[in-house]
C-alpha cells in the first residue's frame, strides 16, 4: 500500500511500482555536509580543490556548489548519457533508490558530467552526496560523498600545446622521487583506445591524468597524512572498466601496510562529450569517495560519525586541517536477532537493511546474516539476521533497544510478508 505521491525536498512526486526510496533516506537529503565549514567532508573537499588549483594545471578548476544540482536525476543522466548498457546491475531496484521509474537518487557524481562539460569549463571539480543501497557495517552507509574531476583539451595544435604545458607543470609539481609507481596498465582489447581517437593525443591525456592523480595522492597521503618524506609513497595503477571512460583505471595507495583502492578514472567517452555538445576535445575524468579517504586520514572508525551532531565529534575538526580523530569512549553495543520464515523462496537483503535503517536510524551499527535454514519437512526457509545496535554518542537503554527491535519485527511482517519466529 504505497501512497500515490511523496514529498521530497519540497517537491511532490508521483510513485509507481519501482518506488523504493525510504523515509530515512529522504531525511538525509537536506543535510549538505559538503557545505559545512569544519566538517571533515568539507575540509577534504577544500583541500583537494586548492591542490588542483595550485598544482593541477595551468588552467583553474571550476568548482560549482552541489546546491544547484538536484540529487534527483533521470536514468538518462545517471546511466544512458554515460553509455551504461541497458542490463547494467547499477540500474536495478536492488542497488539504487528510485522515486519512480523516471527519477532516482544519483548513484555517483558522474550523473552530472554532461551538465558540467556543457558549462563550458575545460577543468572542473564537483562534490556531492550520492546514494546506494548496500549492507550495514562500519564502512557502508547508503549516503556518502564523491568528488568528480575532469579536464578536457582541444584536439588542435594549441589545445595539444596546453596539454603538454599541463604535463610539464604537473611533472614539476610532482617530485617523482617521492613516488614509487607500479603501473600495471596496458592498452588492449579489454581496455582500448576509443575508435575516433588519435593514440598519440590520447597518450598525452593519459600522461596528464597520471601526473595529476599521482600529485593529488602525494598531497593527501604524504603531506595531509603527515607521513615523513623519507619513504616514497607507493601507488599502483590497475586496468578497470567503467562504461563512461576508456581506457579506464583504478588507483591504489599503499598506506599503513595495506593496498587501498582510492579512485576510478579514465579517458572520457566521446559520447559523453557529444551529449554535452563539446566538439573536438578529449580529456580525462576521475571519481573518488570522500568518506573513505577521510576515514583513512583521520582514523574515524565508523562512517556514521560523519552524520553526528555531537560536539565531541564536530569540535575536533577545523577548516584546513584533517587532524587525527580522538575517539570518545565507545558506548556498549546490544545485539538482537531477527528470525523469520520467508513467504517465498527468497527476500532481498537490501530490503531488510533499509527497513532496519527506517526503524533504528543511526543507532544500527551492523547487520549480519547468521543463519539460513530450510525446514526438512515443509521446505520453508528461515533467515536470521543479527542486528547490532549502538549509539556513537550515548548508552542505549535496554527498553529503547527493545522498542526499536519490536518495530523492526513488525515492519518486517508488513513490508516483506515474513512470519516472525
Judged by beta carbon, residue 216 or residue 347, the one nearer ligand PHE is: 216
Judged by beta carbon, residue 109 or residue 391, the one nearer ligand PHE is: 109
- What is the closest distance, in whole angstroms, from the C-beta atom of residue 264 to ligand PHE in the complex? 3
- What is the closest distance, in whole angstroms, from the C-beta atom of residue 93 to ligand PHE in the complex? 18
Judged by beta carbon, residue 75 or residue 266, the one nearer ligand PHE is: 266
Helices (H), 97-148: 113-118
Q: What is the DSSP letter of 53?
A: I
- What is the closest distance, in whole angstroms, from the C-beta atom of residue 27 to ligand PHE in the complex? 23
Question: Residue of minimal CB distance from ligand PHE?
Answer: 287
- What is the closest distance, in whole angstroms, from the C-beta atom of residue 84 to ligand PHE in the complex? 11
Residue matched to cell numbers 551538465: 115
CA angle 231, 236, 237 (to 5 degrees): 150
- What is the closest distance, in whole angstroms, from the C-beta atom of residue 46 to ligand PHE in the complex? 20
Judged by beta carbon, residue 153 or residue 242, the one nearer ligand PHE is: 242
Judged by beta carbon, residue 242 or residue 385, the one nearer ligand PHE is: 242
Is 59:139 a contact under the CB 8 Å cutoff?
no
Judged by beta carbon, residue 192 or residue 320, the one nearer ligand PHE is: 192
Is 41:297 a contact under the CB 8 Å cutoff?
no
- What is the closest distance, in whole angstroms, from the C-beta atom of residue 49 to ligand PHE in the complex? 17
Largest Cα–Cα distance of the chain, in whole Å?
Answer: 76
Burial environment of residue 261 by CB neighbours within 10 A (0 to 12, 13 to 18, 19 or more): middle
Distance CA 255, CA 298 (A): 13
Coil/strand/helix, residue 197: coil
Burial environment of residue 329 by CB neighbours within 10 A (0 to 12, 13 to 18, 19 or more): exposed
Q: Which among 56, 250, 251, 300 has a CA at the least distance from the CA of 172? A: 56
Per-residue cell: 226: 603527515
- What is the closest distance, in whole angstroms, from the C-beta atom of residue 288 to ligand PHE in the complex? 8
Distance CA 311, CA 378 (A): 54
- What is the closest distance, in whole angstroms, from the C-beta atom of residue 51 to ligand PHE in the complex? 18
Per-residue cell: 374: 530450510
Q: Where along the sequence are the contacts to ligand PHE (CB under 6 A)? A: 108, 110, 148, 242, 245, 264-266, 285-287
Residue matched to cell numbers 542505549: 396
Judged by beta carbon, residue 19 or residue 128, the one nearer ligand PHE is: 128
How many CA atoms lie within 13 Å of 183's alpha carbon, on the beta-carbon side? Answer: 11
How many CA atoms lie within 13 Å of 66's alpha carbon, on the beta-carbon side? Answer: 30
Judged by beta carbon, residue 95 or residue 135, the one nearer ligand PHE is: 95
- What is the closest distance, in whole angstroms, from the C-beta atom of residue 224 to ligand PHE in the complex? 21
Judged by beta carbon, residue 44 or residue 265, the one nearer ligand PHE is: 265
Helices (H), 13-63: 23-26, 40-51
Amino acid at each position: 500500500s504505497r501512497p500515490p505521491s511523496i514529498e521530497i525536498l519540497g517537491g511532490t512526486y508521483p510513485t509507481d511500482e519501482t518506488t523504493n526510496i525510504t523515509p530515512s533516506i529522504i531525511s538525509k537529503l537536506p543535510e549538505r555536509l559538503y557545505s559545512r565549514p569544519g566538517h571533515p567532508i568539507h575540509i577534504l573537499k577544500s583541500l583537494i580543490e586548492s591542490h588542483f588549483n595550485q598544482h593541477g594545471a595551468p588552467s583553474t578548476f571550476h568548482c560549482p556548489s552541489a546546491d544547484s544540482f538536484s540529487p534527483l536525476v533521470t536514468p538518462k543522466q545517471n546511466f544512458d548519457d554515460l553509455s551504461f548498457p541497458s542490463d547494467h546491475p547499477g540500474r536495478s531496484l536492488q542497488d539504487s533508490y528510485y522515486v519512480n521509474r523516471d527519477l532516482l537518487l544519483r548513484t555517483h557524481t558522474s550523473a552530472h558530467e554532461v551538465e558540467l562539460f556543457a558549462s563550458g569549463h575545460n577543468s572542473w571539480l564537483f562534490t556531492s552526496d550520492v546514494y546506494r543501497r548496500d549492507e550495514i557495517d562500519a564502512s557502508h552507509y547508503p549516503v556518502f560523498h564523491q568528488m568528480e574531476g575532469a579536464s578536457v583539451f582541444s584536439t588542435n595544435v594549441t589545445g595539444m600545446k596546453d596539454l603538454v604545458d599541463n604535463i610539464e607543470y604537473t611533472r614539476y609539481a610532482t617530485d617523482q622521487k617521492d613516488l614509487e609507481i607500479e603501473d600495471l596498465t596496458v592498452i588492449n582489447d579489454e581496455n582500448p583506445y576509443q575508435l575516433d581517437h588519435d593514440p598519440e593525443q590520447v597518450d598525452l591525456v593519459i600522461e596528464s591524468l597520471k601526473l595529476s592523480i599521482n600529485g593529488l595522492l602525494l598531497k593527501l597521503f604524504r603531506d595531509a597524512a603527515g607521513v615523513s618524506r623519507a619513504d616514497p609513497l607507493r601507488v599502483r595503477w590497475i586496468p578497470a572498466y567503467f562504461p563512461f571512460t576508456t581506457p579506464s583505471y583504478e588507483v591504489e595507495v599503499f598506506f599503513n601496510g595495506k593496498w587501498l583502492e582510492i579512485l576510478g578514472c579514465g579517458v572520457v567517452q566521446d559520447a559523453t562529450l557529444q551529449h554535452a555538445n563539446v566538439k573536438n576535445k578529449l580529456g580525462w575524468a576521475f571519481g573518488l569517495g570522500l568518506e573513505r579517504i577521510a576515514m583513512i586520514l583521520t582514523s574515524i572508525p565508523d562512517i556514521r560519525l560523519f552524520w553526528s551532531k555531537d560536539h565531541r565529534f564536530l569540535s575536533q575538526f577545523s577548516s584546513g586541517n584533517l587532524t587525527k580523530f580522538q575517539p570518545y569512549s565507545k558506548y556498549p553495543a546490544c545485539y538482537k536477532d531477527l528470525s523469520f520464515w520467508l513467504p517465498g523462496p527468497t527476500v532481498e537483503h537490501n530490503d531488510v537493511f533499509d527497513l532496519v535503517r527506517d526503524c533504528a536510524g543511526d543507532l544500527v551499527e551492523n547487520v549480519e546474516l547468521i543463519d539460513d535454514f530450510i525446514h526438512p519437512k515443509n521446505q520453508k526457509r528461515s533467515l536470521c539476521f543479527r542486528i547490532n545496535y549502538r549509539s556513537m554518542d550515548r548508552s542505549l537503554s535496554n527498553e529503547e533497544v527493545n522498542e526499536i527491535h519490536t518495530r523492526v519485527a513488525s515492519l518486517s511482517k508488513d513490508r516483506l510478508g515474513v512470519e516472525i519466529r
